[in-house]
Chains A and B, each alone.
Chain A
Amino acid sequence: MWILRINMTDRSYRLEDVPEAYKYLGGRGLTSTIVHDEVPPLCHPLGPNNKLVFAPGIVTGTTAPTSARISAGGKSPLTGGIKESNAGTAWPQDLAAMHIKAIVVEGQPKEKGKWWMAHLTWDGSKPKVEFLPADEYAGKDLYEVYPKLFERFGEKVNIAGCGVAGEFGYGNAGIVYNDMARRPSRYSGRGGLGSVMASKGLKFIVTDRTGAPGVQYADQALFDEGRKKLIDALRTHDITKPKGGLNTYGTAVLINILNEAGGLPTRNFSSGRFEGAPKIAGEAIFEGNKQRLGKELYNHACSPGCIIQCSNTWHKPDGTEHTSCVEYESDWALGANCGIDSLDDIAEMVRLCNAYGLDTIETGTTLAVAMEAGIIPFGDGKKAIELVHEMGKGTPLGRILGAGTATAGRVLGVTRVPVVKGQSMPAYEPRAVKGIGITYATTPMGADHTAGYTIAPEILSVGGKADPLSPEGKAALSRAFQATTAFIDSSGHCLFIAFAILDIPSGMEGFVQECNGVLGTKWTVDDVPKIGAEILRKERAFNEAAGFTKAHDRVPEFMKYEPLPPHNQVFDVPDEALDSVFGEL
């Protein structure tokens, strides 16, 4: 196994043996460790000293179900802290097949305004990198560019890249990977890592695994035993099974339940209920597609080997595809949070975010802040679409919005700005779901639901039950979820396996056996949160050295004095409870 270092100062590369200390790391555990060990915490995120690290998960590239995940890490231009943002795509399976444990992109070209791409192939016995000019692909819509890259390098390659949002250096710029239909639609969306990639003059990393040996197993029989248990759990659990909730309605199946619970942030976090929720919910997507296509359409896998298959498409009135994917966060951010109830308008904005390289969450929350400031009215989908175009074109207003929700709020004089550590909140209201508010406040990532998804017990009654309006016991709940999640994000599995393995113990056991089968470790289920906690400590240490204190582990002030309808609750979690999340880790 190798660490592949790509130096963009002189466009050179080298393969290093994996240090002993990194041997059992993968995914988030590895990206966060390398960032912790190598990136100066006070460096400018877009300067020469930041690094962009990619790492496939521990079981990525194997036959483990739902395990084609890539972690991207670095110092975030959005938060100024450590970032790990992961995505589902075939791209990391190429890295794993070529025995690449991580790619570390370093340095910065002296010459500005010149773009490059790295073509990564298997050279008989080891990976090889060729640097090619990419100027012809800069400044362009990724729906135009990705087909050209596939035409040039072949249909079997996979691509990681950045769009114009990255070229402009936005705090809101994701890293874009292809899905199985070669759409530029799978994202390491959060935290502006697309701009870190672009800051290095790197537009794309194109991978071709042809001839590569594939993943080696320490104990294949153990791996297979674990894999079977996990597959059984995923295939039987009502949420993850074929034609279950996720496969039928996609993640937007959550719109209605959060709306019922009064926790669906609406019109820039001014209410927990959206009257237009039924029109944009997963059920409406399913029905709308059925009407427009004349048949039922179930969802597809975002990456090879996924058996949950929650990625969807939305279709135009004439039945042609409009975009993929209208998932819960995008649907909410560009819909309910902007007061927009048209799936066609939401889909158009999702398409534009993919085309420009923008994170849909940060885009929707920024548009809502602009609406609050009176730039455009709430609910005006057509004007919202125009603003996304401004971001893509890099107009002065577009650049302000592209900087992200926190910066836009400051520039536009808005007090209701739903961010933590500079990153905007996703689709769950902290005043109506207290545990997720604790996760937003305390995770080293900035407001991020995936970091500790207490929604499972608080709203979905998965993995236990907890009253969403009560702060009692929620610090411990968030801590436990954050630690377990850090391990799942390292394993290479999609976080959605948690729905099944939290309810089905043999699935959890199988999940750990798979990891042991690849690495030769002897981990037990009890080790999962311990290993996760180690990762969290490194992330926290990086942030502390970057200047973060307890004062940054807080929700915005307005959530403490503005009661949220319909439950009319404020965020009443005491500061001591927030501090105990990491204090007692």
Chain B
Amino acid sequence: MRLTVKLFATLDKFRPDAAGGKPFELQVHDGATVQEVINMLGLPDDVVRVVFVNGRARPRDWTLSDGDELGIFPPIGGG
């Protein structure tokens, strides 16, 4: 199945071509989890703080569906 993935803030160093949240497509096996996507992208566990799936923050063991949109963030803050 295909996913759309966006990486934000300091995660750009793991995928410079997709800096600033530029969306890219990712082909994964059916039933893949959030954790598997993190692993596939080579993102160290401790730099990922929040993963949104279709606008909802989801846990690492969340099972993804075809067409899901992921937004992945390191720890960030502001106000």
Contacts and interface: CB of A to CB of B under 8 A. Distances in A.
| From A245, A450, A495, A499, residue with most partner B Cβ within 10 Å | A245
Interface string B55-67: 1110000000000
A546 interface: no
A243 to B, nearest CB: 9
Interface stretch (A196-204, A218-226, A278-286): A278-286
Contacts of B12: 283
A461 B49 contact: yes
B76 interface: yes
A282 B77 CA distance: 11
A460 B75 contact: yes
Contacts of B57: 261, 459, 461, 465, 467-468
Interface stretch (A11-19, A251-259, A347-355, A372-380): A251-259
A496 B6 CA distance: 26
Contacts of A145: none
Contact of A245 (B19, B22, B71, B74): B74
A253 B71 contact: no
B79 A566 contact: no
Contacts of A260: 6, 8, 52, 55, 71, 73
Which 6 pairs across A and B sit closest by C-beta, in order of nearness?
A251-B78, A260-B71, A238-B75, A283-B20, A239-B77, A245-B76
B77 A283 contact: no
Contacts of A461: 49-50, 57, 75
Given A260-B55, A261-B52, A495-B79, A287 B19 contact: yes
5 contacts: A244-B75, A246-B77, A253-B9, A257-B50, A310-B78
A453 B47 CA distance: 23
A456 interface: yes
Interface residues of B, number: 24
A310 B9 CA distance: 14
Contacts of B22: 278
B10 interface: yes
A109 interface: no
Contacts of A467: 57
Nearest to A253: B76
Q: Interface majority SS on B: helix, strand, loop or mixed?
A: mixed
A484 to B, nearest CB: 14
Contacts of A357: none
B19 A257 contact: no
B50 to A, nearest CB: 5
Given A283-B19, A287-B20, A566-B55, A246 B8 contact: no
B47 to A, nearest CB: 8
Given A237-B75, A287-B19, A328-B78, 5 more contacts: A239-B76, A253-B9, A256-B73, A281-B21, A284-B20
Contacts of A328: 78-79
A184 B19 CA distance: 33
Nearest to B70: A260
A365 interface: no
Contacts of A249: 9, 76
A462 to B, nearest CB: 6
B55 A567 contact: yes
A440 B74 CA distance: 27
Contacts of B78: 245-246, 250-254, 282, 310, 327-328
Given A257-B50, A281-B20, A287-B19, A456 B77 contact: yes
Interface in B32-65: 47, 49-50, 52, 55-57
B21 A283 contact: yes
Interface string B10-21: 101000000111
Contacts of A399: none
| From A249, A257, A262, A453, residue with most partner B Cβ within 10 Å | A257
Contacts of B76: 239, 245-246, 249, 253-254, 257, 460
A278 B19 CA distance: 10
Contacts of A329: 79
Nearest to A250: B78
A327 B77 CA distance: 12
Contact of A453 (B8, B49, B71, B79): B79
Interface in A470-507: 495-496, 499
Nearest to A453: B79
A449 interface: yes
